[in-house]
Amino acid sequence: MSREVKLIETITAHLPTRSDTIVGAGDDCAVIDNGPDHSLLLKTDAIVEGVHFQIEDPADKVGHKALARALSDIAAMAGEPNSALITLGLPKDFDQQWVETFYKGLNATAQTFDVAIVGGETVRSPGSIFCSVALTGKVARNKAVLRKNARVRDALFVTGELGGSIDGKHLDFTPRIKEAQWLSEHFDLHAMIDLSDGIAGDLNHICNASGVGAEVWADYLPLSRAARLRAKQGDAAKPAVAAAMTDGEDFELLFSIDPGDAVKLKDQWREVFPETAISCIGKIMEQPGIRLKDEQGIRPLTSHGYDHFQ
Amino acid sequence: MSREVKLIETITAHLPTRSDTIVGAGDDCAVIDNGPDHSLLLKTDAIVEGVHFQIEDPADKVGHKALARALSDIAAMAGEPNSALITLGLPKDFDQQWVETFYKGLNATAQTFDVAIVGGETVRSPGSIFCSVALTGKVARNKAVLRKNARVRDALFVTGELGGSIDGKHLDFTPRIKEAQWLSEHFDLHAMIDLSDGIAGDLNHICNASGVGAEVWADYLPLSRAARLRAKQGDAAKPAVAAAMTDGEDFELLFSIDPGDAVKLKDQWREVFPETAISCIGKIMEQPGIRLKDEQGIRPLTSHGYDHFQ
């Protein structure tokens, strides 16, 4: 277990809650009781220079990424985003032009997804630039899709294509807000998560929360062009299947539904979202752990999604 | 104008809002429409190692401070706090014991003020430790006390004592949640702010937002023992009045009410909060700017609250 995971387990074991806390720490968003109509979703997500972006990256795309990561978590609950506050940590000799371009990208994404930017602050950061986004959202009461309700025999689906996000997608992805709302309106989604750490890590979160295991079918993984190109770069290159399983920052949706809904979902999806792939990549099983099935057989997955502390 | 102030003016000029944004950037909290009963308050506040705390400070008090600063902003709206998310930026070789002690202090303060800690994350921070707190709150519809409604002839009040917070109070202050709720229930508060940058800076925020000026009476400023002791430390020491006007991080309430309510407020306050001072320190005037009145006469205030970027 990494030090970060151990730390988070220790921290989350003692957090105070209230009677209106429906879902506390441990899902994509917190869910707070807010009366009979809808529940409140709360999320914070931070990006750090040198970890999630480089200073050479286009600042407007970094601004997009800062907000879009949090939007992706609202999507993973099938929620609708609302208001955001932006905390920007800047060195003493910050570049005003960089900050303005960062906000240009962030504001454009906010407008696209009808998010109000209602405040925040700049603080001095002696090390590197960081940006923490606090985002609220709404979801109809009892309609938030959690990680914990995956059922044995469920079909596992992912949107889009996976792997190689570092080649550009991590700065330029579309949070799946409208796709998740459509899915939630038309299907009974049992469990959902957004892929920030790779299937290996994030499917593990669903399985642990639901007390189940899963089998992933290598041949059905939607491998991105970036992952396939990278896999050809020599003997030391990461195979595309491994990239799809373990690369971070795909920000696609991973969800489980009753297997009887699978064909209907694929058919309807193609009509509504013809430009975005949807793939059935495996199934939920009773046996704990995640197993990868490929031409060589079935074997337990030992690789994990990447961990910022390792 | 400092670079930070200029930056914030540039940023806030272009922020997208929504029809449910009642108050966006520029007050102690954002206020979001949430139906007929109450409005939602949103606040983020970050502390950074080397700026707001030192690594040698007791970690539990740093945890208290991280949450209490945001609570102080909820108090400044006369709101009730609800749920918080904690973003902790840690170096690669972080000290697990420090983090646990930090959370012990933070959780204790959360319990004292009935706040749920509903999530957050740890991220790697290559520079120094930082902690950003995102806090929600509630306030009865149309009862949030803003900065912009101070009126000419209003009496200006502050709670507690001012100055010299760096000697310890900045890690150990009590956010004035119950005091602000009591004030709001019993009096018509025209404008309110919490003192994070000193009266010189924060009264300026009220005056600018309200289109008024103010006169502050030096003899009536409640000087803290820390400010008075520091003033005796030699010729180069800051006078206690200057400390009360410009030291940051007092986290007391500064508010304005009709002058006809002033005596009643002082009398009732003494009965309800006998251990906390309340002082009438000046009045709102038509003429813009802030003037300090002392035994030498009345002069415009040129000093400002401290600015983290200077």
pLDDT digits (tens, 9 = 90+) for A51-105: 899 999 999 999 999 999 999 999 999 999 999 999 999 998 999 999 999 999 9
| pLDDT on residue A76 | 98
- Using an 8 Å CB-CB cutoff, list chain B residues near A127: 125-128
- What does the pLDDT average to over B289-294? 93
- Using an 8 Å CB-CB cutoff, list chain B residues near A112: none
The answer to whether A45 contacts B126, with C-beta atoms less than 8 Å apart, is: no
Suggest the residue from B6, B28, B44, B49 to mutate for an interface test with chain A (most A CBs closer than 10 A). B44
Nearest to B4 among A29, A42, A122 (CB): A122
Strands B278-285, B213-217: pairing is antiparallel
CA-to-CA distance for B207 and B285, rounded, in angstroms?
A: 9
* Every domain of chain A and the residues it spans: 3-140, 155-300
Q: Give chain A's mean pLDDT.
A: 94
pLDDT over threshold 50, residue B310:
no
pLDDT band at A310 (very low <50, low <70, confident <90, very high): very low
CA-to-CA distance for B223 and B218, rounded, in angstroms?
A: 10
CA-to-CA distance for A225 and B238, rounded, in angstroms?
A: 64
pLDDT digits over B92-133, tens only?
A: 899 999 999 999 999 999 999 999 999 999 998 877 899 999
The answer to whether B87 contacts A115, with C-beta atoms less than 8 Å apart, is: no
**Amino acid at the residue B89:** G
| pLDDT on residue A269 | 98
CA-to-CA distance for B88 and A11, rounded, in angstroms?
A: 11
- What does the pLDDT average to over B282-297? 94
Does this model's pTM top 0.90? My answer is yes
CA-to-CA distance for A120 and B43, rounded, in angstroms?
A: 7
- What does the pLDDT average to over B134-143? 97
- Using an 8 Å CB-CB cutoff, list chain B residues near A100: 10-11
CB A162 within 8 A of CB A54: no
The answer to whether A51 contacts B26, with C-beta atoms less than 8 Å apart, is: no
**Amino acid at the residue A39:** S
- What does the pLDDT average to over B137-165? 97
CA–CA distance from B7 to each of A88, A111, A127, B199 (Å)? 11, 21, 20, 22
Beta bridge partner(s), residue A291: A215, A300
CA–CA distance from B158 to each of B216, B248, B277 (Å)? 11, 14, 8
The answer to whether B15 contacts A44, with C-beta atoms less than 8 Å apart, is: no
Q: Which residue matches tokens 């003016």?
A: B9
pLDDT digits over B245-260, tens only?
A: 999 999 999 999 999 9
Nearest to A114 among B18, B43, B119 (CB): B18
Nearest to B30 among A46, A49, A83 (CB): A83
Contacts of B283 (CB under 8 A, 6+ apart): B153, B154, B155, B156, B214, B215, B259
The yes/no answer on whether domain A155-300 falls in CATH 3.20.20.70 is no
The answer to whether A125 contacts B128, with C-beta atoms less than 8 Å apart, is: yes
| pLDDT on residue B309 | 38
Q: Measured between CA atoms, how close is B92 to chain A, in angstroms? A: 6
pLDDT digits over B5-41, tens only?
A: 888 888 998 899 999 999 999 999 999 999 999 999 9
Classify A204 in phi/psi space as left (phi over 0), alpha (psi -120 to 50) or beta: alpha
CB B113 within 8 A of CB B179: no
- Report CA B155 to chain centroid distance, whole Å: 19
- What does the pLDDT average to over B269-288? 97
pLDDT digits over B154-174, tens only?
A: 999 999 999 999 999 999 999
pLDDT over threshold 50, residue B307:
no
The answer to whether A111 contacts B10, with C-beta atoms less than 8 Å apart, is: no
CA geometry: angle A53, A59, A64, nearest 5 deg: 80
- What does the pLDDT average to over B227-254? 91
Eight-state DSSP code of residue A101 = H
CA-to-CA distance for A244 and A225, rounded, in angstroms?
A: 11
CB A85 within 8 A of CB B32: no
Eight-state DSSP code of residue B228 = H
pLDDT over threshold 80, residue A305:
no
Contacts of B97 (CB under 8 A, 6+ apart): none
Q: Which CATH architecture has domain A3-140?
A: 2-Layer Sandwich (3.30)
| pLDDT on residue B127 | 76
| pLDDT on residue B302 | 66
Q: Which residue matches tokens 């914030």?
A: B8
| pLDDT on residue A5 | 81
- Using an 8 Å CB-CB cutoff, list chain B residues near A49: 126
Nearest to A42 among B17, B85, B94 (CB): B85
The answer to whether B136 contacts A132, with C-beta atoms less than 8 Å apart, is: no
| pLDDT on residue A127 | 77
Residue in A97, A243, A263 with CA at minimum distance from that of residue A161: A243
Nearest to A21 among B83, B100, B134 (CB): B83
Q: Measured between CA atoms, how close is A90 to chain B, in angstroms? A: 10
| pLDDT on residue A307 | 39
| pLDDT on residue B125 | 87
- What does the pLDDT average to over A123-128? 85
- What does the pLDDT average to over B236-244? 89
CA-to-CA distance for B28 and B163, rounded, in angstroms?
A: 21
Longest dimension (CA), chain B: 59
pLDDT band at B1 (very low <50, low <70, confident <90, very high): low
The answer to whether B120 contacts A44, with C-beta atoms less than 8 Å apart, is: yes
pLDDT digits over B79-90, tens only?
A: 999 999 999 999
- Using an 8 Å CB-CB cutoff, list chain A residues near B7: 94, 96, 99, 122
CA-to-CA distance for A9 and B12, rounded, in angstroms?
A: 38
Eight-state DSSP code of residue B53 = B
Nearest to B121 among A44, A89, A123 (CB): A44
pLDDT digits over A244-288, tens only?
A: 999 999 999 999 999 999 999 999 999 999 999 999 999 999 999
Query: What percent of chain A stands above pLDDT 90?
Result: 86
| pLDDT on residue A309 | 38
Residue in B307, B280, B285, B279 with CA at minimum distance from that of residue B298: B285
pLDDT digits over B201-211, tens only?
A: 999 999 999 99
Strands A253-257, A297-300: pairing is unpaired
- What does the pLDDT average to over A184-208? 96
Q: Measured between CA atoms, how close is A182 to chain B, in angstroms? A: 23
